[in-house]
Amino acid sequence: MKLTIKRVPTVVSNYQEDAGERPRGGCGRNCLGHCCLPVSELPVYAFKANPTKLLLQEDAVPTDFFINLLLGQWEDRMTQGLFRYDVTACETKVIPGNLGFVAQLNEGRHLKKRPTEFRVDRVLQPFDSAKFNFTKVGQEEVLFQFENSGSDDSYFLRSAAVSVADRAPNVVAINVSPIEYGHVLLIPRVLDHVPQRIDQESFLLALHMAAEAASPYFRLGYNSLGAFATINHLHFQAYYLTVPFPVEKAATQRIPLAEGGIKSGVKVSKLMNYPVRGLVFEEGNTLNDLANVVSSACIWLQDNNVPCNVLISDSGRKIFLFPQCYAEKQALGEVSQELLDTQVNPAVWEISGHIVLKRRDDYEEASEASAWRLLAEVSLSEARFEEVKAYIFDAACLVQSQAEEETDEAIYAPVLVGPSAVGEGCLVIP
């Protein structure tokens, strides 16, 4: 099934309207650094402080304002020529098979994408201001600030002075080397020079972004160093794709938790019959509870030098966590030359089933079997995965019940994703 994209109407950029009136200052490059940002004005999207109702009321009517705003502003930056290539011209198809892997042909992306500037064998590395980081990005790439409204309502300001008195701003900017339509970056506390490492506050911010989107087709992803993050400055990625990811359709097995360890309300499962072993965290009494549990797991992984990828799905209700070892296998010469020749770096999107291919032959010959072979190299062994899972549970204060060992038959439950409202073969951005 071949996918095509229908573009949304362009929302006029604040920069087009107000560029002549905005005060100039700083280094003259109008960047996101300390030199320019504190004397700048940017749009602000203020999100709901407590989206509990959104998490609990699955039948609630979602708002499409956030998605339309983000995609419209992204489209505007495309008309300004800020991207390194036109991702909407890339061929995309759903590969026949049980899981429906999505393949995209993006010839030359690896040549136009910013190269990695740090070691791949260490998950935690200090921030280096001499290397590329997001404070060097021009403000024309920013869509808006993303801040807490402090109330139960969301709102949007077309222009507001950037305040740095109490805390550094969070910004949403385009990814100039996009994988998909609407590909953006969420950069928490951009002026604080936080390296690529998850903390509870930043992870909760990412969940808030997913909750504001209120769409099963808008996902956020995170790559640690060693798991194919290419910039050592804290950021999440996100884009909008109206087909289910294969990992969202994969079967899962619930891991029973002891009563003393489920006060957060978070439920945990493990992926079954999927090429990459991973954990699925969902629900939670509040968004904060879910963020606490998953961020604690991620913090243990990064503190113990275990690379990982994270997918935030279902409007922030489900999080997929993948400890991985592909870069380690590469370094040890354990990855076949055939896979290395594809030049595919299996980061969060590839692991989730959206695979970006650089060569037409690989795209034309893509199959579920070839996707499975690639992703299987990413996965920890079963023994190592179970060992890591035990440490993660301890770090997140989760206690596994012995009930699972007493169960004769595993019960599998697919992760639900609503059907697309468009006809087969057409990917439509509303």
Active site residues: 235
Beta bridge partners of 138: 31
Compute the distance between CA of residue 38 and CA of residue 40 in angstroms, rounded to an integer: 6
CA 190 to chain centre: 17
Closest by Cα among 153, 150, 392 to 294: 392
Report the C-alpha dihedral over residues 146, 151, 154, 156, rounded to 10 degrees. Answer: -60
Contacts of 215 (CB under 8 A, 6+ apart): 62, 64, 67, 240, 315
Write out the two tokens for 425: 């073969």
Look up residue 314 and give its DSSP letter.
Answer: G
**Residue 112 host element (H or E):** helix 109-112
Compute the distance between CA of residue 70 and CA of residue 23 in angstroms, rounded to an integer: 25
Where are the alpha helices (H) located in 179-282, listed in sequence order?
Answer: 200-213, 246-249
Q: Taken in order 229, 230, 234, 240, is the CA torsion positive or negative?
A: negative
Compute the distance between CA of residue 114 and CA of residue 132 in angstroms, rounded to an integer: 9
Residue 107 C-beta-side C-alpha neighbours within 13 Å: 8
